[in-house]
Structure 1
Amino acid sequence: MSAETLATVTLVVPDYDAGTEFYVGKLGFELIEDVALGDGKRWVVVGLAGGARLLLAKAANDAQAAAIGNQTGGRVSFFLETDNFAETHARFMAAGVEFLEEPRHEVYGIVAVFSDPFGNRWDLLERKETR
């Protein structure tokens, strides 16, 4: 039987370089691919080792541009898990990442919502062991 993996998710951004600057420069993602496709289009993939990847897709029309930062209707779009919340939170703060709240303790772990420069909301999350 075959095995499938959700490997890459598209994230619409206003500009490839702005997307790369934030995800690689501030969050520490790896630039996995950046291939020119012609006519100003690029295949830009960022991600973390062993994790899912984001295809940064430059908005090509007004409808796509209108969706930037609101691709999930204002809800948290992405969940970035860490094994050391305090360290990752401090690193992101030092890099200028905008947190929308103070860290809070929930039954599932420590969490704080941050925003990328395009308006997408992310959870930074350290999960509790649930054994």
Structure 2
Amino acid sequence: MITGMALVCVRVRDQQEAYEFYVGKLGLKPTMDETIDGFRYLIVSAPEQPELPIMLVEPEAPMIDDEAARQIRTLLATGALGPGAFRTDDCRATYAELKAKGVEFVEEPEERFYGIDAAFRDPSGNHWRLTQPKPPQ
């Protein structure tokens, strides 16, 4: 039986650039940065959710073949990949904080049926949501 998520992989064009963004701008915590057999395992996580690590992976072997890597790089360049959403307690305040750090937002915070959310892109082009869920009723 599946009991939950163990790891999320996010494709990035450059691991070091991604590290600087996710740790330096978003405030995620590095949990692993180790090269084993030529493959760099670069893993970060949200400070309050270390049990869900995010692995920042360049599209290359041994994970995928050259053609798949080319296709993923094309999707990244066009902003077509959207890995998910980061949760926050205050979307508007987090938006202002991240925008001041140079994060590129493509949507400002807006009220929606599920809460308040905004959208931003990482340096690779990944499209992320920043979501403040409505409190349970």
Q: TM-score, normalised by structure 1?
A: 0.85
2:18/2:122 contact within 8 Å kept: no
Corresponding residue for residue 54 of structure 2: 54
Corresponding residue for residue 114 of structure 2: 108
The 5-angstrom pairing of residues 1-131 of structure 1 reads 4-39=3-38, 41-49=39-47, 50-51=49-50, 52-60=52-60, 61-68=66-73, 70=75, 74=80, 76-131=82-137
Alpha-carbon offset, residue 59 of structure 1: 2.0
Bigger share in helix: 2
Alpha-carbon offset, residue 75 of structure 1: 5.9
Q: Cα RMSD over matched residues? A: 2.2
State the AA in 1 paired with 2:34: V
- How many aligned residue pairs are there? 128
Q: Which runs of 4+ in 1 moved over 4 A?
A: none
Alpha-carbon offset, residue 3 of structure 1: 6.9
Q: Name the CA distance, whole Å, in 2 between partners of 1:116 and 1:7.
A: 22
Change (3 A) 1:95 1:65: farther
1:22/1:117 contact within 8 Å kept: yes
Change (3 A) 1:69 1:79: farther
Unaligned runs of 5+ in 1: none
State the AA in 2 paired with 1:93: K
State the AA in 2 paired with 1:63: A
Deviations for 1:39-92, whole angstroms, at most 9, x for unmatched residues?
A: 3x2111011132522111122135224314737x93642111101112211111
Unaligned runs of 5+ in 2: 61-65
Identity of aligned residues (%): 33
Q: Name the CA distance, whole Å, in 1 between partners of 2:33 and 2:17.
A: 13
